[in-house]
Amino acid sequence: MSAERAGHTSVVLDGKAVRDQILGELRVRVERLQKIRRPPGLAVVLAGRNPASEIYVRNKVKACEQLGIYSEKHTPPDTISTEELLAMVERLDAREEIDGILVQMPLPSQVEARRILTAIRPDKDVDGFHPVNVGNLVANLPGPRACTPSGIIELLKRYRIPIAGRHAVVVGRSDIVGKPMALLLLHENATVTICHSRTRELAAECRRADILVAAIGKPALITRDFVKPGAVVIDVGMNRLDDAQAAAIFGTTPARTLIGDAHPVQIPEIAGAYTPVPGGVGPLTIAMLMANTVRAAELHTGCCA
Ligand code: GUN
């Protein structure tokens, strides 16, 4: 059924607008820190030359500049060993003016990612990936939370989308998005289902969702058949398409080559609200990284904590 025939209008959840709101609130806190003590400091480590990671890191550094957060970028070669990267993290851990350390994922395959993430001091772990912070998340204790899922909760709250008592379905079980997303929704009193590559009857599971979060990394997997009419669809996917794939999804000449996990034509026709790609979830991840960095600086300086 087309949008017109159904008289259907769906709300576009504008991640850029929410990001700007969050950054506006953070700017005040950064100015206060600058005046009383020192600016927050973030170190970003990008090992190797993954093109997508390079764009993410560039945007993170740019957001720091816009907010007045001190940032530095470390770009070791993709041949770096686990021991060398550990030494780099330990040097950053020891520096007083560095409040947050972000090691961009994925790491080169020879690096033992788990050892790197565990070496970052939990109070400087602005990604919320350290096992101590994962434990705090599970126990619903204070601590930095993974940026993408916490950005999605901010988006839902600022659009006044109720979560408590709703059925949330999270598709994807990654440590970065799926698992922390499910826990944050649970702490907001949603009834939560986690689906993954071995889930049976995926479309039927998804159709039970009032809030559907797609974090799978498969372009346009979530089609109309996966969505209950009026549901909220949150699309975490960022997939690059070649021209043939884009033509298959958009029909005629390819309109776009960057799409999410949700079908960009069908979802607006059935969802009550949805996040676009780009411009939905992506900007929120960076806003929450900034929020985690400012919070870490407040705790480290004893200002406004
Ligand atoms: N790679 C994809 N998303 C993220 C993220 O939120 N943090 C880091 N460090 N790497 C990522």
Nearest CA to ligand 1 atom 9: 104
| 146-283: CATH class | alpha beta
| Domain positions in the chain | 38-122, 146-283
Distance between Cα 177 and ligand 1 center (Å): 9
Q: What is the mean pLDDT of the chain?
A: 95
Q: What's the gap in Å between 160 CA and the centre of ligand 1?
A: 27
The finding on whether 86 has its CB within 6 A of some atom of ligand 1 is: no
Residue pLDDT tens, the chain, 305 long: 444 445 789 999 999 999 999 999 999 999 999 999 999 999 999 998 888 899 999 999 999 999 999 999 999 999 999 999 999 999 999 999 999 999 999 999 999 999 999 999 999 999 999 999 999 999 999 999 999 999 999 999 999 999 999 999 999 999 999 999 999 999 999 999 999 999 999 999 999 999 999 999 999 999 999 999 999 999 999 998 888 888 888 876 556 789 999 999 999 999 999 999 999 999 999 999 999 999 999 999 999 76
Q: How would CATH label the architecture of 38-122?
A: 3-Layer(aba) Sandwich (3.40)
Q: What sign for the dihedral angle of Cα 137, 105, 27, 188? A: negative
133-to-98, 126, 130, 150, 255 alpha-carbon distances in Å: 18, 10, 5, 13, 41
Choose the residue to mutate in 57, 101, 104 for probing ligand 1, maximizing ligand atoms within 8 Å of C-beta: 104
Separation CA 251–CA 181 (nearest Å) = 33
Residues serving a catalytic function are 60, 104, 127
Q: Express each pLDDT in 117-158 by its tens digit.
A: 999 999 999 999 999 999 999 999 999 999 999 999 999 999
Give the atom of ligand 1 at the shortest distance from the alpha carbon of 289: 6
Measured in Å, residue 24 CA sits from the centre of ligand 1 at: 23
105 lines ligand 1 (CB under 6 A): yes
Any atom of ligand 1 within 6 Å of the Cβ of 190? no
How close is the Cα of 29 to the center of ligand 1, in Å? 24
CB 30 within 8 A of CB 67: yes
The reply to whether 146-283 shares the fold of 38-122 is yes
